[in-house]
Structure 1
Amino acid sequence: MNNYLIVTALYRFICGGLILLINWELASPESTKHLAIATVLSFVPAIFTPFLIKLLFKNYTGSKLTKLSFLLIFLIVTGITTYYQSTFILIVLNFLLWIIFFLLETSLEFWFSELVENQSEIFINKYSSLSMTINQVALMIGPLFVSLIIKFIELQWIFLIYGLSYLLLYFAIKRSRQVTTNLSEEDATQTNEHIKILHYCISMLMWPILGTINFMLPTFTTFKNGKIYEVALLDSALGVGMAVIGVILSKWLSSRWLSVFLILTIGITLLWYLYEDNLYIKLFLMLVFGLAFGGARIMFRKMIVTTYTSQTVKRVYSLGNAFGLPVLALCIYLSILNLNFVWLPSFILLIVLLILLKTQHHERNITNEKSIN
């Protein structure tokens, strides 16, 4: 588990800075089309990633697939180092990068579910919250770090350093016991395990929320004539919120938090509309957004790993990501119709996500009460 925590934390640290650099290169106050195209294309891999996993990587363990993904990212970032000044090539390489990101996100969840399988609920709660907290701290520091060093180091060298860092992560993953996933009778039963439609609906909102945030922050900031450090600060405030709620939920995890998150999200949506030009208030609102979204992710993760087998968990996340693409495309299309409201889809998606989670918890409570009676 320690190897998992260290590797994922370093991955998030590098990833946060890398995404910010690419998005900032593509962002422009005159035209949002390059960043909009890149953001939508970033989620196209969600459609075919589940099939890639099923066809090419079905016998891979979570750690083995993660290891391979880091090697592929190293090669792609090396290409970005050379060709980042060409908008077309940068969009293409960014597309390839996100194919691997989707493989990674599924493999990391698969790896985690392998590590906690057959463990106690206390163990799962502890490490689910701990891993997300550590990752969010790393993701928070990453953009801040890169916004500082970009003043002293040329962009080409930063990309090169990031590429080499992924190569180091490739070597840092320890060899794990090979898990055979050929379809025996037991495996076939797990593969055919019924998944609730509501769980797919919840999963399909996770990446669109992050995608709209990644599109919104640089777009809205450049539209308001802001600087790259403002994007880094807002991104970091989001990460702080997600880290803080991870610590809180590791000790006091309860479905009652969903009502709190829903009320807070509705409140910050109204406040952003009123104070969108005040950076300090926006930092606070992004912090609260991070609390609500981070809490929702943790509660959904626990729900999934305690409901399904590790193989089914992989299906929930990979297919959920695929179904999220039309949602993201529609949100970005609506965003660019009026850049004054480019921030709104992220907040609406989070409100819908929390409502669905509350619905699911209500259904589980009713089911539990019936089983007791």
Structure 2
Amino acid sequence: MNEKSAVTRNAAKELVMFLFCSTVYRLFSGALMVSLTWTILNQDEGGYLPLALAIFCSFIPAFITPAMIKRLSLRMNGRQMSSWFVLGLAGLALISGVSRDFTLGLLITNLFAWLMIMSLEASLDMWFAQIQRGMDETRVRRISGATTATSQAALMTGPLLAAGLMPILNGMGFSLVLSAGFFMVAAICFTRHSQPSAVQTTVEVTAATRLPLTLFVPMVLIWPILGAFNFMLPVYVASHGWALFELGVLDAVFGLGMALIGVLVIIANTGRNLTAYLSGLIALALIATLMWLLMPDNLLLKALSLLILGMAFGGARVHIRVAIACRYSEAAVGLYVSRANALATPVLLLILSLQLAMIDNAWLLPFLLVTLSVALLLQTSATRFARGPSSTAAVGA
């Protein structure tokens, strides 16, 4: 009995450590990425090509991360990997301050920062898998909900942190603050004697039902939508003579919309009527588009439009995760997600090219892509697919 209590206490301590480290990391990473985006945008007055190049290159690490994680997992567990990756971000934060006046240096820093962030997302999932091993499904769902809520809150606060501190501190001062924050997280989550790595098991990929295009295409569009949004937002802010504060606010409310729809999904139990749920998401996307197009250039109105768009986009992401998790094994999900991420890079290149060609209306593409994604999910095949879980063992996200 005492041994069981000790195990429970250790698991609780590990969970608290995970929540703290993952939340604070996302707070400072959100501040770092928005500061890099803003600094790159202001390198060439009136020139948006460096920003487009930075956003496109930020998705290149998606091809490198899986092989790197697989190799490192032979020697380290998720918590140890997370510590080293956060330490890498601490160094990159310093480099961003040193190279703040050099476009090439900022582009390279941005590329490696995204490599660390994508690797961290994988290592944090490994760490979470260690913590929840042996717990009942209900408790795992509650823990997963808590991590999602705290992480989204941190990602929303990060841009505001940058907006508040960058005008006060000089370029290097802000970089030192970020580096110190990352170093603190790395030191806290580092351990030499943590839980052993999860036992690797072979899971057979079942092919009972092919993934419909109406679901796969929205999966491909997730990262391009985020990339198109990250490009159009600073372009819009700069073209209207606004500053970093407005950029931080608009970026934050988009994330707030994604967090809000997550709460509503849990409260309303929307799985009972997927057609109504997806139709509601399309309505939100259309309302957001019309508001952005027709309303005056007022910060409050634009923020409300992006809040609604964030709800539509976040709702689509929730539906995609549920649809694939309830139908395929973990190995099959990983296969489809990796294929979608690989195709996302050329799609993003096409979208950024279109945005550069129609720079005055660059905002339109992310709005239209969110609407298209939800419309595809509403197709009968995707809706029926999500309702009926197969005999394949479902994996909790």
* TM more than 0.5: yes
Aligned counterpart, 1:291: 311
Quote the Cα distance in structure 2 between the aligned partners of 1:276 and 1:219.
17
- Residues paired across the two proteins, number: 364
Aligned counterpart, 1:280: 300
Task: Select between 296-305 and 71-80 the one with higher mean Cα deviation.
Answer: 296-305
Q: 1:277: how far off? A: 2.2
Alignment of 1:294-305 (within 5 A): 294-305=314-325
Q: 1:123: how far off? A: 3.4
Preserved CA contact (<8 Å) 1:47 1:323: no
Aligned counterpart, 2:262: 246
SS at match of 1:188: coil
CA 1:123/1:181 → structure 2, altered by over 3 Å: closer, same or farther? closer
Gaps of 5+ in 1: none
Task: Select between 325-334 and 242-251 the one with higher mean Cα deviation.
Answer: 242-251
Q: 2:364 aligns with which of 332, 344, 347?
A: 344
Q: 1:163: how far off? A: 1.5
For residue 203 of structure 2, what is the amino acid of its counterpart? T
For residue 291 of structure 1, what is the amino acid of its counterpart? M
Q: 2:197 aligns with which of 179, 183, 198?
A: 179
Quote the Cα distance in structure 2 between the aligned partners of 1:59 and 1:350.
40
Quote the Cα distance in structure 2 between the aligned partners of 1:368 and 1:307.
5
SS at match of 2:261: helix
Preserved CA contact (<8 Å) 1:14 1:142: yes
Query: Aligned pair 1:20/2:34, yes or no?
Result: yes
Residues 109-148 of structure 1: per-residue CA shift (max 9 Å, x gap): 4444555566555434433333222222111122112212
Quote the Cα distance in structure 2 between the aligned partners of 1:78 and 1:130.
31
Quote the Cα distance in structure 1 between the aligned partners of 2:300 and 2:280.
23
Q: 1:237 aligns with which of 231, 253, 258?
A: 253
Quote the Cα distance in structure 1 between the aligned partners of 2:363 and 2:171.
28
Quote the Cα distance in structure 2 between the aligned partners of 1:69 and 1:311.
25
Preserved CA contact (<8 Å) 1:125 1:250: no
Identity among equivalent pairs (%): 27
CA 1:240/1:219 → structure 2, altered by over 3 Å: closer, same or farther? same
Q: 1:103: how far off? A: 1.3
Aligned counterpart, 1:269: 289
Aligned counterpart, 2:3: none
Q: 1:324: how far off? A: 1.3
SS at match of 1:189: coil
Aligned counterpart, 1:354: 374
For residue 171 of structure 1, what is the amino acid of its counterpart? A
Preserved CA contact (<8 Å) 1:261 1:292: yes
For residue 264 of structure 1, what is the amino acid of its counterpart? L
Aligned counterpart, 1:326: 346
CA 1:133/1:202 → structure 2, altered by over 3 Å: closer, same or farther? same
CA 1:250/1:174 → structure 2, altered by over 3 Å: closer, same or farther? farther
Q: 1:310: how far off? A: 5.5
Query: Aligned pair 1:148/2:164, yes or no?
Result: yes
Quote the Cα distance in structure 1 between the aligned partners of 2:134 and 2:312.
29
Alignment of 1:1-373 (within 5 A): 1-28=15-42, 30-57=46-73, 60-113=76-129, 115-116=131-132, 120-173=136-189, 175=191, 176-180=194-198, 187-190=201-204, 192=205, 197-198=211-212, 201-255=217-271, 256=274, 257-275=277-295, 277-305=297-325, 307=327, 316-359=336-379, 360-365=382-387
Aligned counterpart, 2:394: none
Quote the Cα distance in structure 2 between the aligned partners of 1:60 and 1:75.
21
| Greater per-residue helix proportion | 1
Task: Select between 239-248 and 161-170 the one with higher mean Cα deviation.
Answer: 239-248
Quote the Cα distance in structure 2 between the aligned partners of 1:356 and 1:106.
28
Q: 1:35: how far off? A: 0.5
Q: Which has the higher contact order (CA 8 A, sep 6+)?
A: 1
Task: Select between 166-175 and 40-49 the one with higher mean Cα deviation.
Answer: 166-175
CA 1:358/1:9 → structure 2, altered by over 3 Å: closer, same or farther? farther
Q: 1:193: how far off? A: 5.6
Preserved CA contact (<8 Å) 1:132 1:298: no
Task: Select between 274-283 and 89-98 the one with higher mean Cα deviation.
Answer: 274-283
Quote the Cα distance in structure 1 between the aligned partners of 2:269 and 2:78.
26
Aligned counterpart, 2:11: none
Quote the Cα distance in structure 1 between the aligned partners of 2:329 and 2:184.
31
For residue 139 of structure 1, what is the amino acid of its counterpart? L
SS at match of 2:346: helix
Quote the Cα distance in structure 2 between the aligned partners of 1:259 and 1:24.
36
For residue 170 of structure 1, what is the amino acid of its counterpart? A
SS at match of 1:178: coil
| Higher radius of gyration, 1 or 2 | 2
Preserved CA contact (<8 Å) 1:42 1:95: yes
Preserved CA contact (<8 Å) 2:326 2:386: no
TM-score of the pair, normalised by structure 2: 0.81
Task: Select between 109-118 and 135-144 the one with higher mean Cα deviation.
Answer: 109-118
